[in-house]
Amino acid sequence: MTQEALAFEAGLDRTYISQLERNKKSPTVDVLFRLCDAMGIKASELIARVEEKR
């Protein structure tokens, strides 16, 4: 999924998605849920994936 598609589906700006990817911004809980909805996954799944990489 492109930044543009994700931003559109989540109702966010593409530049904000870019900032998240580059660790320039941290998402709020609301944004986290919007991103997960846009990607079709649960927030717990996303968090588990992040924890596995640490």
What's the average pLDDT block by block, 10 residues per block, for the chain (54 residues)? Answer: 97 98 96 97 93 88
In this predicted structure, what is the pLDDT of residue 10?
98
Residue environment code for 24-52, b if the CB has 16+ CB neighbours within 10 A, otherwise e:
eeebeeebbebbbebeeeeeeeeeeeeee
pLDDT at 26: 95
| pLDDT attached to residue 54 | 82
In words, the CATH class of domain 3-53 is mainly alpha
Task: Read off the pTM.
Answer: 0.85
